[in-house]
Chains A and B, each alone.
Chain A
Amino acid sequence: MCLCATARSAQAQFTRDLAPKFFDAVTLVDSIKTDSARADSTTQASDGQDSIAAVPKRKVKLLPENIYPLTNVFWGESGLFRGLGWAPLTPDARRSELDFRRSLLSTHQIGGFVTWAGLVTTLVMGQIVLNSYNNLDFESALRLRPTHQTIATATFVSYMLTGLMSILAPPPLIQRSEWNTVSTHRVLSYFHFVGMLVTPYLAIRASGSRDINEIRSLRQAHQIAGYATAAILSAALIIVTF
């Protein structure tokens, strides 16, 4: 019993006092090997002073593994812009491409808010015009309708230009196969794009019709499409902030 206690005490002492030193000195069994090539690519540090590292020899993959099909058409390794010689696939050119991408996406952000504001204004104006028609106040309806149409046209142009900036943007440096907020933003864009086409189409159809029942149905569909498009566009805007 006494020996047992001694053994336990010795084991406890080893665990408490000696084990850290012991394990500091152990050999490595399953560890990974140091990638000397990678380590060599960094600059030797100066003693406490800031220094600028030399450009490493290791090459970085210039294009992501996953690239959207449409982006690939323009900016892929054998894309249109590469083939035309406008965008050679070199580190310097790619750095400029990424700057261009950032400019396009920043403008896309601003364009998104401008388009959203335009769409909300169009909705408000459209609702006023629709209320005027429903109240048989044709004078107000006919007076306000051109304003509604003008704002709607400006919003449509702003929307298309904003979308084009995203579509034509060069690919990012990293694009993993994953679902993220930008993926949701992108999926929502398919829906609000359809909404942006269907809404004015219904309005044009209503303007060209001579059948009062058809006009009323088309106006209602136009109204629903407009609200739905605004809701989807709002969701697409909010989602990217997460």
Chain B
Amino acid sequence: MMFIRAYISMFSCLLLIAPSRFAAGEKLSALKGDSKISYELSHPLHKVEATTKDFTCEIELSESKEISSVKFSADVTTFDSGNSNRDSHAMEVIDAISYPDVAFQSTGISADGDKLNVTGNLTFHGVTKRVSFNASRKLVDGKLIVEGAAALSLTEFKIDRPALLAIRVDDTLKISFVMAFSVPRN
């Protein structure tokens, strides 16, 4: 009985104390090993999927403890499809020497339970465009996991679609991501 009472009082204290421990405007950075972002391109002969874990992603929390902003930046040359020749070709078409980064800065985030709708400016291939995508959040093994996907048009970002055997890839570039943020050890 004493154990149960102690458990309840500790639990109540935790609920009362926890929100006050974390200031609004606090920033969390994505965990490098657990977070990844991928793109997928389709060609009539095969699909190409390239992934990177080498990027920075930072979320900011509002006073109501909701995710209020997202900032993301990645070096485009770190995306790995398992074929560096193909990746190098991709770097040629997006002119990675002139534009080595892809970056996103949110301008608005709306939440409906664990579902998020994120709007912001994406800079890719030197072109900045407003994009909007859906994401979801969940708690797994003590980590906050935010997952989502977006579809971009290569043409809209002024990218000349690469070709294999004179056949060009589809215009749609599918982006998917998993971002993990650490939680405190109490």
Contacts and interface: CB of A to CB of B under 8 A. Distances in A.
A188 to B, nearest CB: 15
The 7 closest A-B pairs by CB, nearest first: A45-B121, A172-B88, A42-B103, A31-B29, A25-B65, A180-B83, A25-B22
A27 B144 CA distance: 12
A62 B91 CA distance: 12
Contacts of B71: 34, 39
A60 B11 contact: no
Given A175-B84, A178-B84, 18 more contacts: A21-B66, A22-B65, A24-B61, A26-B183, A28-B181, A31-B28, A34-B58, A39-B73, A43-B128, A45-B107, A45-B122, A50-B129, A55-B98, A58-B100, A62-B97, A175-B88, A176-B80, A176-B84
Given A38-B101, A42-B103, A94-B97, A174 B26 contact: no
Interface residues of A, number: 65
Instruction: Name the residue among A4, A28, A34 with the largest chain B CB count within 10 angstroms.
Output: A28
Interface string B8-43: 100100010011011000111111100000000000
A39 B56 contact: yes
23 contacts: A6-B8, A20-B137, A21-B65, A22-B18, A23-B139, A23-B183, A25-B18, A25-B22, A27-B21, A28-B181, A29-B185, A30-B31, A34-B58, A38-B101, A39-B103, A50-B129, A52-B126, A60-B100, A64-B88, A109-B165, A172-B85, A174-B87, A174-B88
Interface stretch (A10-18, A123-131, A191-199, A215-223): A10-18
Contacts of A29: 182-185
Nearest to A51: B128
B88 A26 contact: no
Interface centre among B83, B84, B144 (most CB of A within 10 A): B84
Nearest to B8: A7
Interface string B66-104: 110001010101001011111111011001111111010
Interface of B: 1, 4-5, 7-8, 11, 15, 18-19, 21-22, 26-32, 45-46, 56, 58, 61, 65-67, 71, 73, 75, 77, 80, 82-89, 91-92, 95-101, 103, 105, 107, 114, 120-123, 126-130, 137, 139, 144, 164-165, 181-185
A32 B32 contact: yes
Contacts of B27: 28, 34
A178 B82 contact: yes
**Interface of chain A, helix or strand or loop or mixed?**
loop
A38 B85 contact: no
Contacts of B85: 172, 175, 180-182
Contacts of A6: 8
B79 to A, nearest CB: 9
A162 B135 CA distance: 49
A7 B182 contact: no
A25 B67 CA distance: 9
Contact of B92 (A21, A56, A173): A173
B127 A51 contact: yes
Contacts of A23: 139, 144, 183
A180 B31 CA distance: 29
Contacts of A178: 82-84
A13 to B, nearest CB: 10
A84 interface: no
A11 B101 contact: no
B84 A28 contact: no
A25 B31 contact: no
Nearest to B130: A48
A242 B164 CA distance: 10
B68 to A, nearest CB: 10
